[in-house]
Structure 1
Amino acid sequence: MSNADLHSHLIHTTLTLNSTTLYTYENHQLIPLINNLNCSEIISQELGLINSSKTIVGSIQISSNYTTTKLVLYFMKKALVNKDGSTDLITVVTIAHSEVNRALIITVLKKIIDKYIDFKQETENSDPDTINNNNINNSNPINSANNSPSQTKSRLGEFKLMMNQIIKFHELEYSSNAQIYNYGAIEGTDGESSQSINPNQLLLANEEVDEVRQLMLDNINKLLSRGDKINLLVDQTDRLNTSSSVFQKRAQQIKRKMWFGNMKFILAIAAVIFVILYLFIGQSCGFPFFSRCLHN
């Protein structure tokens, strides 16, 4: 292939499920044109960042440290809810020249994800039937051999061929109908036409808007929950202030009671001392008014 083919074909495409690589496609005729770049290594380095981000569709410029050719890494993600309630993250990543039409890339990525979801669901739906057939025909070695796990593995391997066909079909369709992909493009300042937005891109934009909307709703729910917690904290603070006021009043009452109790005790001691002194002096000076001592 020539450099012109580099601007209209995908170089490397990888389909992953929960960050695990399932299928890969590589255009071996284009690899020598980019100095035999190790595309799998680049994708594995960027996959963690891609899956952790909130962006559904995006692109990453490949560093010039890898190659002097202007290459871009495009990705698309979609969450798939399984029957058991678990969620799988499907990610398709492709490496292409920066001048490859973005509408072509997005169309291919979306087609691969949609076809894989259909293929995965069909495979999962057919597995219970295979298990039942194995249980029913367990006594027949011929039927057991026909329903062996190798048949399931071969069925799973069929999608690699399907993915290759999807890529080649859309590349051929783009080569034959390039004007359809560029329909509605506007001229840039440098004389080159900017790439247009087609219905597939609008659909992806809507999906991304839905994702953003869901994130906003989650954030609103978190804020409301945080507001409820703040209101609960305010209520608890008010209750604490009320309890503190009640405690302070009770402390003052107890303090007054203790003061009165101490005063009663002091007065009682004073009265006892006065009585003892009266009796002692009265015995010497005469009762009741100390007449002997006063006359003297």
Structure 2
Amino acid sequence: MSSIDIHKHLICCTLTINSTTLYTYENQQLTSHLNKLNCSEIISQELGLINSSKTLVGSIPVSTNTSLKLSLYFMKKFLNIDGSRDLITVVAIAHVDVNKTFILIVLRNIMDKYIEFKMRQEDNKSDRTQKSKPGEFKLFMNQIIKYEEMNYNSNEQVYGYGSTNGNDNEADAEASGNNNSNNNTGLINANQLLLANEEVGEVRQLMLENINKLLKRGDKINSLVDQTDRLNTSSSLFQKKAQQIKRKMWFHKTKFIASITGGAMIVVYLLIGSECGYPLFDSCRS
């Protein structure tokens, strides 16, 4: 086919967040020999189904116009930053004979590196001198893929432990079956370990979210109790002030009425006295 071995390389890899493509890697040497395989179109067709499913790690067969058998592999994880919940999905297309553990390690490394990159972006958001350049992570992504592909041969024995590829799969299954029948123990392969790790991480994240929500709810309840106490205290003070003001207003009103009444009586006395004589109205009485 070409100098590059399709059984030891990824054809393409894409990192998305909330179904939006951020970075894409494509092996041009392989795609040029696969009738210019449109990886972006294949991934976009399957991405909605992948993100809507509850499966965190999995694979889907890819139908092509060639005799080659390809598979689409994915890994996804939720990332919570500043209250937002983003779904990160890493998708790769490779030949079905490519070691599954190798693919999962690549996807996991890309996922971890991007989360670290994203966290660093958030930490440096206020520092203009530390802002990341556009497309900076694509370089990291390419380096991860190239590094794992370069070490494919040296790590093949490690990848092969518990793998599910080709004839080794049948041999491992038979060996596992014999071992189970003799020792009542089973082998856990690397794929299952990675999947279990992802599921445990997701459950842990959900538990932390629930705990944070409970703590926030407790803080809100405590704040509400404090506000209620302050409101009750303010209400008591307001009631006392209102009673004091009411007494003061009543005193001023009584004083005003007494002053008006006294003044009126003095005027009447003066008017009657001017006609009847002072001080006891002697002329009018006689």
1:117 to 115, 118, 121: 115
Structure 1 residues 204, 7: closer, same or farther in 2, change over 3 A?
same
Tell whether the 8 Å contact from 1:187 to 1:193 is kept in structure 2 after alignment.
no
Report the CA distance between 1:89 and its aligned residue: 0.4
Structure 1 residues 5, 197: closer, same or farther in 2, change over 3 A?
farther
- CA distance in structure 1 between the aligned counterparts of 2:89 and 2:165, rounded to whole angstroms: 33
Report the CA distance between 1:104 and its aligned residue: 0.3
Report the CA distance between 1:192 and its aligned residue: 6.1
- What is the RMSD computed on CA atoms of the aligned residues? 3.1
Q: Which residue of 1 aligns with 2:46?
A: 46
- CA distance in structure 1 between the aligned counterparts of 2:53 and 2:45, rounded to whole angstroms: 14
Please give the residue correspondences for 1:13-24 in structure 2 after superposition, counting only pairs within 5 Å: 13-24=13-24
Q: Are residues 1:160 and 2:158 paired?
A: no
- CA distance in structure 1 between the aligned counterparts of 2:43 and 2:50, rounded to whole angstroms: 10
Tell whether the 8 Å contact from 2:101 to 2:163 is kept in structure 1 after alignment.
no
- CA distance in structure 2 between the aligned counterparts of 1:21 and 1:104, rounded to whole angstroms: 23
Report the CA distance between 1:19 and its aligned residue: 0.6
Q: Which residue of 2 aligns with 1:81?
A: 80
Report the CA distance between 1:4 and its aligned residue: 6.6
Which one-letter code corresponds to 2:5 in the other structure?
A: D
Structure 1 residues 184, 204: closer, same or farther in 2, change over 3 A?
closer
- CA distance in structure 1 between the aligned counterparts of 2:98 and 2:164, rounded to whole angstroms: 17
Please give the residue correspondences for 1:2-151 in structure 2 after superposition, counting only pairs within 5 Å: 2=2, 5-64=5-64, 66-83=65-82, 85-130=83-128, 147=129
Q: Which residue of 1 aligns with 2:199?
A: 208
Tell whether the 8 Å contact from 2:71 to 2:95 is kept in structure 1 after alignment.
yes
Number of residue pairs matched by the alignment: 193
Report the CA distance between 1:86 and its aligned residue: 1.2
**Stretches of 4+ aligned residues off by more than 2 angstroms:** 1-4, 183-201, 206-215
Q: Normalising by the residue count of structure 2, what TM-score does the alignment of the two structures yield?
A: 0.60
Q: Give CA-to-partner distance per residue, 1:213-267, whole Å, 9 cap, x none.
A: 999xxxxxxxxxxxxxxxxxxxxxxxxxxxxxxxxxxxxxxxxxxxxxxxxxxxx
Report the CA distance between 1:7 and its aligned residue: 0.5
Structure 1, unaligned stretches of length 5 or more? 131-146, 216-296
Q: Give CA-to-partner distance per residue, 1:36-68, whole Å, 9 cap, x none.
A: 11011110111111111111001110124x433
- CA distance in structure 2 between the aligned counterparts of 1:27 and 1:188, rounded to whole angstroms: 24
Deviates more, 1:192-201 or 1:16-25: 192-201
Structure 1 residues 127, 30: closer, same or farther in 2, change over 3 A?
same
Tell whether the 8 Å contact from 1:74 to 1:94 is kept in structure 2 after alignment.
yes
Structure 1 residues 30, 193: closer, same or farther in 2, change over 3 A?
farther
Please give the residue correspondences for 1:253-272 in structure 2 after superposition, counting only pairs within 5 Å: none
- CA distance in structure 1 between the aligned counterparts of 2:41 and 2:165, rounded to whole angstroms: 36
Structure 1 residues 79, 213: closer, same or farther in 2, change over 3 A?
closer
Q: Normalising by the residue count of structure 1, what TM-score does the alignment of the two structures yield?
A: 0.58
Q: What SS is found at the alignment partner of 2:153?
A: helix
- CA distance in structure 2 between the aligned counterparts of 1:34 and 1:200, rounded to whole angstroms: 28
Structure 2, unaligned stretches of length 5 or more? 174-186, 207-286
1:182 to 133, 145, 160: 160
Deviates more, 1:18-27 or 1:199-208: 199-208
Structure 1 residues 98, 188: closer, same or farther in 2, change over 3 A?
closer
Q: Which residue of 1 aligns with 2:242?
A: none
Which one-letter code corresponds to 1:39 in the other structure?
A: C
Which one-letter code corresponds to 1:96 in the other structure?
A: A
- CA distance in structure 2 between the aligned counterparts of 1:184 and 1:193, rounded to whole angstroms: 10
Report the CA distance between 1:32 and its aligned residue: 2.1
Which one-letter code corresponds to 1:44 in the other structure?
A: S
